[in-house]
Amino acid sequence: MLNKRQREFKKKMKEINRLKNQEYIHGSLAHNTYRGSKGKKPFFVLGGVVGGLVLTWNLYAAYTWFIPGTSHFPSIEALTGSHVEEEIHSYFVKAEEIESKLAYQVNYLTASAQHGPLDQETIQLVNQSLFLLSEQMVNGDERTSELEHYLNGQIDLIHQMLAVCSPTLDPEKLNTILTRYNQNLLNKSFILISILEKEEMHYLIEDDGISYEYEEKSLW
- What distance lies between CA 74 and its chain's CA centroid? 14
CB 155 within 8 A of CB 130: yes
End-to-end CA gap in the chain: 54
pTM over 0.75: no
| pLDDT the model gives residue 50 | 27
CB 206 within 8 A of CB 193: no
92, burial (CB in 10 Å: exposed 0-12, middle 13-18, buried 19+): buried
Mean pLDDT in each 10-residue stretch from start to end of the chain (220 residues)?
57 50 30 32 25 32 34 44 76 89 91 91 93 84 88 96 94 93 89 91 81 68
Question: Using CA atoms, how far apart are residues 49 and 57, in angstroms rounded to an integer?
Answer: 25
| pLDDT the model gives residue 179 | 92
Q: What are phi and psi of 25, to 5 degrees?
A: -125, 130
Q: What are phi and psi of 209, to 5 degrees?
A: 145, -155
CB 76 within 8 A of CB 139: yes
| pLDDT the model gives residue 1 | 60
